[in-house]
Chains A and B, each alone.
Chain A
Amino acid sequence: MSEIQIELEILRYDPEKDQEPHFETYPVTCQDDWMVLDAINYIKDHVDTTISYRWSCHMAVCGSCGVMIDGEPKLACKAPVRDYANKTARVEPLANFPIERDLVVVMDDFMDKLKRVKPYLIRKEEKPLEEGEYKQSPAELKKYKQFTLCINCLCCYAACPQYALIPEFIGPAALTMAHRYNQDSRDQGLAERQDEVAKPEGAWDCSFAGECSEVCPKHVDPAGALQQLKIATTVEWYKGLIGMGGK
């Protein structure tokens, strides 16, 4: 296995010492099958133990290691170092979120918004357990399955120019979750989500730049979900107008 030389320019910020963030540069000799996360781990283990960053699974499932690499939101565990061989790669915390420390961002805003869209199955009346499960056909599952692949890595928020400009915007991942449950044949919570989804800072603040879908490491296509939400909320609005409120 051959080796690759890269230089990581990592944004550092210590809230107890720094007025503002600065970059520190770390040359790293990598194995050619390493990801950027491996290089950061190497720095943490061998060069500078004070670097803070989030990671867990190293297999693009946990969604913890989202960072900006050369200005693009990416999972550090899915970004091969060979793409940056003999170059300097700039690693920053996800854009559009406050920096807690180094590469760690404050996610409170997203967590609050996710809660507001009620991302879980809502039943008007739960049926008793002995009546068995809520059945669903493969076609009904296929309708929303793509949206279930979201791992809440927040790369979409970091790429979204609307979220950058309008912090009240509920944003791609949370709205996609609302759409995912609205599309679920077992769910009856569309009307309960409508208040959040249909207001201006809901789906309508999306200008369809499409960047969220471009950077999504799980190919969830939040941009598609948001446009479908716009159409669905419009249909619901008209239904309400003629007294035929939704499910």
Chain B
Amino acid sequence: MAYVRPVSKTRWYRAKRSYTVHMLQELTSLFVGIFALILLWGIGSIAAGPAAYQAFLDGLTSPLMLLWMWITTIVMFYHAIAWFSVTPKAMPVQRGEEFVPGSIIAGAHYVVWIALSLLVLLLAGVF
């Protein structure tokens, strides 16, 4: 009878460095999720009235929250760069017989990212 080799459901990602890196990239989505929950908390506090919104703003400026936001920012940069670097694979663009170089596709993502970030900062009254 054919022999089936066992696969560890809990330790497989430690078998290869690239698997571990992949799982780290997947883990960054947790930070995205938590950030989304914080945003929802903010929206909920607006609905709950000025006092609740002020409490939310005060919560955001606590040292622990600031530290968390910095960690989230760094993780999000990693998340975005890891994703942008593989966009040429997912979204190849063919012009005539040739494919547009991957650097242009990834580069376009960075341009849009920066433009949207500037727009959000503009709307938030930072400039």
Contacts and interface: CB of A to CB of B under 8 A. Distances in A.
A15 B1 contact: yes
A208 interface: yes
Interface of A: 13, 15, 18, 20-21, 71, 95-96, 98-100, 106, 138-139, 142-143, 161, 164-165, 207-211, 213-214, 221, 223-224, 227-228, 230-231
Contacts of A214: 18
Nearest to B22: A209
Contact of A142 (B1, B4, B91, B94): B94
> Size class of B's contact patch?
20 to 34
B99 to A, nearest CB: 8
Contacts, number: 71
Interface in B1-45: 1-5, 7, 9, 12-13, 15-16, 18-19, 22, 26
Contacts of B15: 71
B13 A106 contact: no
A207 B22 contact: yes
B122 interface: no
B92 A228 contact: yes
Given A161-B12, A209-B22, A211-B18, A224 B92 contact: yes
A164 B7 CA distance: 7
B97 to A, nearest CB: 5
Nearest to B98: A142
A126 B30 CA distance: 51
Contact of B89 (A96, A99, A161, A224): A224
Contacts of B97: 138-139, 142
A100 B91 CA distance: 39
21 contacts: A13-B3, A15-B2, A15-B3, A21-B5, A71-B15, A99-B2, A106-B2, A161-B19, A161-B22, A164-B12, A207-B26, A209-B18, A210-B18, A210-B89, A211-B16, A214-B18, A223-B86, A223-B89, A227-B90, A228-B92, A230-B90
Closest 5 CB pairs of A and B: A227-B90, A224-B89, A98-B2, A209-B22, A99-B3
Nearest to A72: B16
A164 B19 CA distance: 12
